[in-house]
Amino acid sequence: MLSAERILARCESLAQHSELAGGLTRVFLSPQARAATDKVLGWMREAGMQASLDAIGNAAARYEGERPGLPCLMLGSHLDTVRDAGKYDGMLGVISAIECVDFLNRQKRRLPFAIEVVGFGDEEGVRFGTTLLGSRAVAGTLDLSVLDARDPQGNSMADALRAFGLDPKRIPEIARKKGEVLAYAELHIEQGPVLEAEGLAVGVVTAINGFSRLRVTLRGAAGHAGTVPMHLRRDALAGAAECVLATEQVAKSDPELVGTVGRIEARPGAINVIPGEAMFTVDVRAPRDELRNAAISKIKSQIQQVSKQRNLTCEIESLQEFGVTACSPRLMAQMDQAVKRQGHRLRRLPSGAGHDGMALGAITDICMLFVRCKGGISHNPAESITEGDAAAGVQVLLDFIEHFALQR
């Protein structure tokens, strides 16, 4: 029996591993990530899998097929969180996948392919400012210059890996070759309101929107808040405020675009000092790459214009970009069938959020199943799903796995 009750209890259990008392924040390679990952490895082993921590800190497990060494169907999602996160974003997919393997194992069933489950160590990119580190390492697309990236405390990623007990030089060894992975399937909460609005527990994802991320630093002159007249100031934060609104305007110019300034910092950061420096991030997403690229160009030119008008200097760094990732028509059709067999009305929908499948798309076909979440709320501690919807999700995932055997 698949147990949605156990799935939700395990999500609760992982949520105990947080750097934030009374909330959930668990970033890549933190002590809390280590504890959560070890717990997941234990559940993977209980489900009959060979499981170990890989070279980048993913929990990686394998359930052999009818004979050892067969190519695998890979299932997974991530174990890291945003700051002040919900308990299901990422974790639900990993735990539901383990539940499916546990079900097969208890029936002593082996399929004509292996199943691998991965709990990726980093999808959110909170610690080092660049996302999908765990899944890009598995896809073999991680540029190792990222090892020099630093977290806000100044620790490099290479040092963080060593502190976690890992050897950064071994990361290339976990890259999978094309052909070893038959497909990648990920169950994830929807993180939006569409399924709830239509009274549906699950939906099949068509594509994952692309994203571009910038870090912008404006520099003016710090000064005394009481003595410098307004017309003689070079206030970097006031300039940043104009850039935030310009970003919003550009994002509002097309219904398919979204744009967010999610972080802003003023330095030196005192009530009586004119901010001499301001740093902010920009995150732009769209279902079409041309639209996103045009929006990013417009935002950059507006930032330059604001800087010029206010006599500020500006530095714009491109942190990361990822094109739209389409789900495989062949796998979507198989997921559609699983949804219908389990008695749900079929609904296909795109994903506005990023997912590990974007990285895995470099080496294999991908597909995703969304599970309804309450109020469409995510990246928020109020994120919640019902036991009934968790059950619907895991049943469809198991059905997909069982029939993948027949249809490959």
Contacts with Mn ion by CB under 5 A lie at 89-90
- Pick one of 36, 306, 324, 353: the residue that binds ligand GLV (CB under 6 A): 353
Task: Identify the CA nearest to 236 among candidates 177, 331, 293, 315.
Answer: 315
Residue 75 interaction partner, one of Mn ion, ligand GLV, none, beta carbon < 5-8 Å per kind: none
Are the C-beta atoms of 247 and 282 separated by less than 8 Å? yes
Size of the site for ligand GLV (CB under 6 A): 3
Beta carbons within 10 angstroms of residue 178's beta carbon: 10
Residue 361 interaction partner, one of Mn ion, ligand GLV, none, beta carbon < 5-8 Å per kind: none
Are the C-beta atoms of 286 and 210 separated by less than 8 Å? yes
What is the per-residue binding string for ligand GLV in 63-92, x denoting contact by CB under 6 A?
------------------------------
Distance in Å, CB of 353 to ligand GLV, minimum = 4
Distance in Å, CB of 351 to Mn ion, minimum = 10
Distance in Å, CB of 189 to Mn ion, minimum = 8
* Site residues (CB under 6 A) for ligand GLV, limited to 121-160: 124
Please identify the residue of the shown chain whose CB is closest to the bound ligand GLV.
Answer: 354
Q: What amino acid occupies position 94?
A: V
Residue 354 interaction partner, one of Mn ion, ligand GLV, none, beta carbon < 5-8 Å per kind: ligand GLV
Residue 102 interaction partner, one of Mn ion, ligand GLV, none, beta carbon < 5-8 Å per kind: none
Nearer to ligand GLV, 186 or 277 (CB): 186
Assigned token pair, 164 = 């976690």
Residue 151 interaction partner, one of Mn ion, ligand GLV, none, beta carbon < 5-8 Å per kind: none
Q: Which residues of 344-358 are buried (b: 16+ CB within 10 A; e: fewer)?
A: beebebbbbbbbbbb
Distance in Å, CB of 391 to Mn ion, minimum = 20
Assigned token pair, 91 = 């974790």
Integer-rounded Cα Rg, in Å, for the chain is: 22
Long-range contacts of 36-44 (CB under 8 A, 24+ apart): 36/79, 37/79, 37/119, 37/121, 39/13, 39/14, 40/14, 40/79, 40/94, 40/95, 40/98, 40/119, 43/10, 43/95, 43/98, 44/98, 44/101, 44/117
The span from the CA of 317 to the CA of 13, in Å, is 38
Residues contacting 56, CB < 8 A, separation 6+: 121, 122, 133, 134, 137, 142, 161, 166, 171, 174
Helix (H, G, I), strand (E, B) or coil at 346: coil
Helix (H, G, I), strand (E, B) or coil at 371: strand
Nearer to ligand GLV, 51 or 353 (CB): 353
Distance in Å, CB of 186 to Mn ion, minimum = 9
Nearer to ligand GLV, 124 or 277 (CB): 124
Distance in Å, CB of 77 to Mn ion, minimum = 6
Are the C-beta atoms of 367 and 183 separated by less than 8 Å? yes
The span from the CA of 144 to the CA of 148, in Å, is 8
- Pick one of 119, 276, 354, 357: the residue that binds ligand GLV (CB under 6 A): 354
312 binds ligand GLV (CB under 6 A): no
The span from the CA of 239 to the CA of 327, in Å, is 40
Distance in Å, CB of 124 to ligand GLV, minimum = 6
Nearer to Mn ion, 56 or 306 (CB): 56
Distance linking the first and last C-alpha atoms of the chain: 25
Nearer to ligand GLV, 54 or 124 (CB): 124
Distance in Å, CB of 166 to ligand GLV, minimum = 23
The span from the CA of 358 to the CA of 349, in Å, is 16
Residue 122 interaction partner, one of ligand GLV, Mn ion, none, beta carbon < 5-8 Å per kind: none
Distance in Å, CB of 90 to ligand GLV, minimum = 8
Residue 284 interaction partner, one of ligand GLV, Mn ion, none, beta carbon < 5-8 Å per kind: none
Nearer to ligand GLV, 276 or 354 (CB): 354
| Residues found near ligand GLV in the complex (CB under 6 A) | 124, 353-354
